[in-house]
Amino acid sequence: MSSVISDSFSIYGEQITSRLLIGSALYPSPAVMADSIVASGAQIVTVSLRRQQSAAAGDDFWQLIKDTGLKILPNTAGCHSVNEAITLAQMCREVFATDWIKLELIGDDYNLQPDPFALLEATQILLAEGFKVLPYCTDDLVLCQRLADAGCEVLMPWGAPIGTGKGLLNKYNLKTIRERLPDTTLIVDAGLGLPSHACQALELGYDAVLLNSAIAGAGCPVTMSHAFKAAVDAGRFAYRAKAMPEKDVAAPSTPTMGMPFWHQQ
Amino acid sequence: MKVSMKITINGQHFELADSTNVAQGLTQFAAKEPFAVALNGQFIPRSQCDTTLLNEGDSIELLSPIQGG
């Protein structure tokens, strides 16, 4: 049991034991954000960059995040072109002092679907500049293979469009990606709504999940954070335990030998 | 101060003297740490802000940490 508890996954060589990466947006208050992050047990929190407004506006937020002591994963949310994403990634690297970048490059505003072509191009450029790219991508096997071929050690296919809470819309695709890329760290990013969704991702063999809205948008974010923490642990235990094979025909679990009188001839 | 060029910082208009560099321009905005800078869509490392001169019509983006998912 202890080996299961202590198992970890790698993000560009860094060993991570918490299989829940958490976002810092949309919470009802800064205090709830901080408490939810702590309750999640996450070791990695996502942040972003936006135009500086007034001097005090972002101070409290950034201080709270720094106080968590967690690893920072900046994102390029809102970028629609390769140049925008590269510039924002470079700015993130300087402000947050990390080579990690959650690369988001939106191709369609309706469902915030990543642009696979621009994503691959930006990934190649950023990897060449020394970034450790964690691309937010669709659950397309060939795209994932191309990103891995480019040098990505971590891929983050979506479960469903950002903020929808629909869960894993295409388990077949996600499962296939897991099977075809056994040596790549895979994190389901976006679209989760329930702890059971996170559990399913881990049961499929995904290394972790990244989520924000499912916790921040819950009636009680801190309690939901606890629930997701338990869910990823359950999913990981289940994956390690190897599930029984599914069958189409019922099979009794109670021994049939020594059946009592009502079945005797 | 001789006003000779107009620039924008985060969409706000500023009038600056000729030969003003990026670092000097940011003082007009009262920029607070931490932040990163882009000039006309290109990242400018902080170490180069005082050697990068501004020109008429330049657009500076001054970004700071914010919540993200």
Question: How close, in Å, is residue A242 to chain B by CA atoms?
Answer: 32
Residue B34 and residue A92: Cβ atoms within 8 Å?
A: no
**What is the per-residue pLDDT for A135?**
98
Kindly report the backbone phi and psi dihedral angles of residue B28, in degrees, each rounded to the nearest multiple of 5, phi listed first.
-65, -25
Which chain B residues are Cβ-neighbours of A48 within 8 angstroms?
65-68
| Nearest residue of B to residue A214, measured between CA atoms | B69
pLDDT digits (tens, 9 = 90+) for A107-141: 999 999 999 999 999 999 999 999 999 999 999 99
Chain A residues in contact with B31 (beta carbon < 8 A) = 52
- Residue-wise pLDDT for B8-50, tens only, equals 999 999 999 999 999 999 998 999 999 999 999 999 999 999 9
Catalytically active residues of A are 102
Q: Is the pLDDT of residue A10 over 50?
A: yes
Please compute the mean of the pLDDT values over residues A210-238 and round it to a whole number: 98
Q: Tell whether residue A230 is among the known ligand binding residues.
A: no
ipTM of this complex:
0.96
- Give this prediction's pTM: 0.94
Long-range pairs, A95-98, Cβ under 8 A, ≥24 = A95/A49, A95/B34, A95/B35, A95/B36, A95/B63, A95/B64, A95/B65, A96/A47, A96/A72, A96/B65, A98/A71, A98/A72, A98/A73, A98/A74
Helices A30-40 and A221-241, packing angle to 10 deg: 20
Are B38 and A33 in contact (CB < 8 Å)?
A: no
Structure-token match 């506006």, residue found:
A57
Cα Rg, chain A, nearest whole Å: 21
